[in-house]
Amino acid sequence: MEKSNGNKATQIFWSIVSFLRRCLFLVISVRPIPHHIAFIMDGNRRYAKKRKLKEGDGHRVGFLALMSMLKYCYELGVRYVTIYAFSIDNFKRDPEEVKSLMDLMREKIEGLIKEESIVNRYGIKVHFIGNLKLLSEPVRLAAERAMEATANNSRGVLSICIAYTSTDEIVHAVQESCEEKSDEISVMNASGAGYGLLQLGGNEKEERENIVKLTDIEKHMYMAVAPDPDILIRTSGETRLSNFLLWQSAHCYLYSPSVLWPEIGFRHFTWAILSFQRSYFYLDRKRKQS
């Protein structure tokens, strides 16, 4: 009986907390809300060392922190969230650690498909971003199943950057753009129409130099599924981007709380939003000037 009463009291308490949080978000929403927030989840290993946990346990606690951040984002009305889950450079770590991370990743990816998962609860479409060919087959297949299972969700987008670096993304986009233009030129030449380098009296040298345009590269970026981020949050007090969204983050607000990733909480999230709102008109002006 006492246990039952305790459970009811706990449920009531968290219901009140959730209600108050939503009320605060309504107040915050009076000012501009970011469309896209990106996270660099830094500090899982240091957290495990600090708390004398097994190394892998730091990542498990970090996953719980991620679920809280996703909940806050979608409750506030942020449509796009991107997380830096695993860099290509992380493959250089100890093989046992990499294997442990891949196993944990597959376990959590498969959890996204479950009906009660956060992505289904909030109607979130999941994209896995990066050079997925570098992943082990079980992880890659799990990622493909998660993308297929959430393809019809439309209330928000979660992009998980895995086997990703920004330089790899840019090289990939340039290669894809060049191959696409090469195919177009081949088709035009085969039809006898040429590629129109001198159309409308244009200069041949200028036309050749501009065959591949900025828009061609941007549409082939892995992150073409989302607009550029408005806020990039990196924990542990680090201000480095670590080869993450270098192309997309030219005009976003950078927030670097000193806490380790598993320690990030509601107050840090709220402060990031308020800080973004204070800087919004300056950032928007700079974006329009570029």
Amino acid identity of residue 36, one-letter, is: H
> Which of helix, strand or coil describes residue 86?
strand
Whole-number Å distance between alpha carbons of 93 and 139: 18
φ, ψ of residue 36 to 5 degrees: the values are -145, 125
**Neighbour order of strands in the sheet with 124-129:** 124-129, 156-164, 80-87, 36-40, 231-234, 253-255
Catalytic residue among 42, 168, 228, 230: 42
42 is catalytic: yes
> Which of helix, strand or coil describes residue 258?
coil
Whole-number Å distance between alpha carbons of 73 and 268: 12
Amino acid identity of residue 138, one-letter, is: P
Whole-number Å distance between alpha carbons of 235 and 287: 25
CB-based contacts of 109: which residues, under 8 Å, 6+ apart? 139, 142, 143, 146
Whole-number Å distance between alpha carbons of 233 and 186: 45
> Cα dist. 175→126, 172, 184, 226 in Å?
25, 5, 14, 21
Q: Which DSSP helix (H) or strand (E) runs through 37?
A: strand 36-40
Whole-number Å distance between alpha carbons of 56 and 53: 8
Whole-number Å distance between alpha carbons of 157 and 260: 25
> Which of helix, strand or coil describes residue 158?
strand
Known catalytic residues?
A: 42
